[in-house]
Structure 1
């Protein structure tokens, strides 16, 4: 019987001992497959998709959209008046330093558009600056104007003047004149006739204002082109 047991034991293959560390032995092929699966699941293999999820591609898209919007805004400025309006819009909030002085470094820039200008009421300097930088300087010689009456006189001489009494609503980019006292630029006109403007030297700064359909007594409008 002992001999039979020995023969039986000899027929059983020896067991494979596990490594002392207890780590499983993995074939190179299996390891590569496991790595590929792990990489995909963490998003490294799908880096473009992960970037989109994190907003990087989206940020680029947003920037492109913003650039397109900016280009579209510039593209809408097809007339000198519209270009002057865009320039005026960028100046809203510029104020006298100190208040009541009719001066500041920025207001001094507005005066450079008018020949012979000096520190003083600057609403006409402001529209002269916007018109000049829009490529449509005021005056026969492009000299700009420091007085409101001079602007309206020039506009009437050159066929650019529309009296408010004519009842024709202004367009965005037109200059709006109140006698010899004040001048601004039309930003928009509502369906009910309200006129929105941007005006220099209004409350000592470049300010947005809203007027009724008569322009609150405006005397007329100047078409820059």
Structure 2
């Protein structure tokens, strides 16, 4: 799979990352207790043990629910199950992109069954390093991290889940170049069954901002309708779960 078109607006990634940024600086409480575990235990898998469980993936589920995109992100606590869900959705990639769910194995095995931790890509730097937002890092924090790909197993792409479920991607706007033509939009092609437009000249920035905002709002409203029902895929157990008892394992950053 490719890494996506950098000129295409992705409302799923934008909504998910916005929800995650609102929690930067959060720190878990005593006993590994978090509000994300509380939410997961009350809304996804009604088991009180999640209230004090490793929370890197539960934070992503919480953010996806807040953004109204959990049908495309998944609601998991067990990271290997989350990765396998993306594989089953034909939405697995080896190429990072903003909004991708990144799965790590600190041993470097590249095996899904050995995945230890998960985060979300915020941007990909020119040097190839990924800038992420992750929960349960540096023992207790929710923060940004900069990592190379040596420990990355792969990436789950929510935008591909949406494309595969609906038969098309989200409505998109592509801006190309800085022409000097008139103010009317010109059709630039079709992506995922939706028309793509380009606006020449200085008017493009303001017009694009308004259109992207409108499209993002439309996508989130439609997905909001799904928030009241349980996700079609139940939340998985966290890595190294034992029957009827969560293992005493942090499941987070290796630092």
Range into which the TM-score falls when normalised by the shorter chain: 0.5 to 0.7
In the superposition, the TM-score normalised over structure 2's length comes to 0.49
Q: Does 1:79 align with 2:41?
A: no
Structure 1 segments of 4+ aligned residues over 6 angstroms from their partners: none
1:74-223 to 2 correspondence within 5 Å? 78-98=10-30, 101-105=31-35, 107-109=37-39, 112=42, 114-117=44-47, 118=50, 119-137=52-70, 144-162=75-93, 164=94, 168=95, 170-179=96-105, 180-203=115-138, 204-212=140-148, 214=149, 216-223=150-157
Q: Contact 2:36–2:58 at 8 Å: present in 1 too?
A: no
Cα distance, 1:104 vs structure 2:
3.2
Deviations 1:159-201 (A, max 9, x none): 1111x3xxx3x11111100142100011111111111001011
Deviations 1:194-222 (A, max 9, x none): 1100101112121111012x2x3100011
Q: Distance in 2 between matches of 1:116 and 1:77?
A: 36
**Larger Rg, first or second structure (1 or 2):** 1
Cα distance, 1:77 vs structure 2:
6.8
Q: Distance in 1 between matches of 2:126 and 2:90?
A: 27
Q: Distance in 2 between matches of 1:97 and 1:133?
A: 21
Cα distance, 1:82 vs structure 2:
1.9
Q: Which runs of 5 or more residues in structure 1 are unaligned?
A: 1-75
Q: Distance in 2 between matches of 1:78 and 1:113?
A: 27
Cα distance, 1:114 vs structure 2:
3.1
1:48-63 to 2 correspondence within 5 Å? none
Q: Distance in 2 between matches of 1:221 and 1:80?
A: 15
How many residue pairs match? The answer is 139
Q: Contact 2:27–2:142 at 8 Å: present in 1 too?
A: yes
1:157–1:105 CA distance, 2 compared to 1 (3 A): closer
- Which is richer in helix? 1
Q: Distance in 2 between matches of 1:94 and 1:77?
A: 28
Q: Distance in 1 between matches of 2:12 and 2:19?
A: 11
Cα distance, 1:106 vs structure 2:
5.5
**What RMSD, in angstroms, separates the aligned Cα atoms of the two structures?**
2.4
